[in-house]
Amino acid sequence: MGIVISSLSKNYGNQKALDSISFSIKSGEVVGLLGPNGAGKSTLMKSVTGAIIPDGGEIKVNEFSVLNQPIQTKKLIGFLPENNPLYYEMYIREYLKFVGNIRNEKKERIEEVIKKVGLTPESHKKIGQLSKGYKQRVGLAQAILSNPEILILDEPTNGLDPNQILEIREVIREIGKEKTVILSTHIMQEVEALCSRVILLNKGKIVSDSPIEEFKGQYKNLE
């Protein structure tokens, strides 16, 4: 169980966005994908969700192939893209019902996720009336709505102010107790705050893959 990535490659023209990458993630791990802009983080995450087709290699999620069994793997994965687009004119519940294709008997799941991501005090509002931090909570609610085993978060605190960052990290920390998480970021403090393992990516290659404690040691040596 978990995610197994083998010799994954993706090129854009001559640009090697992913250069034969291999690693595994065990069920329940919270893994940070750290790297500068252009490192290949988004390409890697979109390959795992099935949004882009790699040029080579294989991705398995709980033994299912993302390429050959996309219906099975998509059910297992929740995704929060960077700059997640939201419908500003919709009420929160209306939006979650819409994106989740929620049937009446599953309505209570909406209340459950609203509570889980801390939307309760704002839950009567339209999305456009929310602060950026609360908008991001809607994104997280959407990502966990179908109760996926795996949650993939692309730069989840980008563009938020310092208080909102701490609040969103707290929500992610709680969700991370129950799920396998891959979190992409270019911010070291974010992986320190949330992840037990760090995969450092640069120019489409894995530079290091280590437990957070070891990584912090290496990082300090670089300073």
Tokens 């563009």 identify what position?
Answer: 159
Q: Considering only CA atoms, give the Rg of the chain.
A: 17
Backbone angles phi, psi at 28, to 5 degrees: 95, -10
Please tell me whether residue 163 binds ligand ADP under the rule CB under 6 A.
no
Please tell me whether residue 97 binds ligand ADP under the rule CB under 6 A.
no
Q: CB-wise, 43 or 146, nearer to ligand ADP?
A: 43
Please tell me whether residue 38 binds ligand ADP under the rule CB under 6 A.
yes
Stretch that binds ligand ADP, among 33-41, 54-62, 106-114, 168-176 (CB under 6 A): 33-41
Q: CB-wise, 81 or 176, nearer to ligand ADP?
A: 81
**Which of 126, 47, 57 shows the shortest CA–CA distance to 94?**
126
Please tell me whether residue 35 binds ligand ADP under the rule CB under 6 A.
yes
Please tell me whether residue 164 binds ligand ADP under the rule CB under 6 A.
no
Options 14, 37, 101, 221; binder of ligand ADP; rule CB under 6 A: 37
Residue pair 193/32 in contact by the 8 Å Cβ criterion: no
How far apart are alpha carbons 217 and 223 in whole angstroms?
Answer: 10
Residue pair 12/1 in contact by the 8 Å Cβ criterion: no
- Footprint on this chain of ligand ADP (rule: CB under 6 A): 12, 15, 17, 35, 37-43, 85-86, 88, 128, 131-132, 135
